[in-house]
Amino acid sequence: MAPTLILIGFMGSGKTAVGRRVSSYMGWEFFDVDNLVEHETGMSIEQMFEREGEEAFRRAEELVVLRVLDVAGASNAGTVVSLGGGAVTSKGVRDRLKREPFVVLLDEDIATAFSRARNGKRPLAADEQAFRSLYGRRESLYREAATHVIDTRGKSLKHVADEVAGLTDERNGAA
Ligand code: S3P
């Protein structure tokens, strides 16, 4: 069966950039859950938080994650899926991830993550203190959900993407 690589981690940990790179390197499909939610709701995440609230966003996000993982699981091609940073706060997502062999946590230092995430488009990355304390509340969820942890501190995008791609090579006996 073709593997599905699922990237999890906090905002600014590089999930989308790494996912895009790994998928193009492996010739695999790529799904970015944030983009899919925006596409399906016809709103930016920022608008969704503002107009409908975080709860509504989480419900939409969970539905997209469950569906994308089913599609990926049924595909003959390899797939990379980048989850939004808060997807693991939904129990339905956490339960679904337990069936997956490649749930890869990108573990970045919080200062670097904040410097990347504070672009104005992320409702939960407006204030550094709040960002740090949100990370503190979520860290155990990431670690419990992960089957693999990649320490991304100080590493280039290429380096991280090579490590992520190598996980499936090893499992398939190709490394
Ligand atoms: C969020 C992370 C964001 C996005 C939304 C909420 C979070 O995704 O889903 O702004 O709660 O951590 P990224 O992790 O891709 O930035």
What pTM, to 2 d.p., does this model score? 0.96
Q: Which of 115, 122, 131, 135 to mutate to test the pocket of ligand 1 (most atoms within 8 A of CB)?
A: 122
pLDDT digits (tens, 9 = 90+) for 10-27: 999 999 999 999 999 999
Please name which of 128, 104, 95 lies closest in space to residue 114, comparing C-alpha atoms: 128
Nearest atom in ligand 1 to the alpha carbon of residue 117 is 16
Mean pLDDT of 139-165: 98
Q: Residues 149, 151, 157, CA angle at the centre, nearest 5°? A: 110
Ligand 1 proximity of 122 Cβ (cutoff 6 Å): yes
Positive or negative CA dihedral for 68, 9, 98, 29? positive
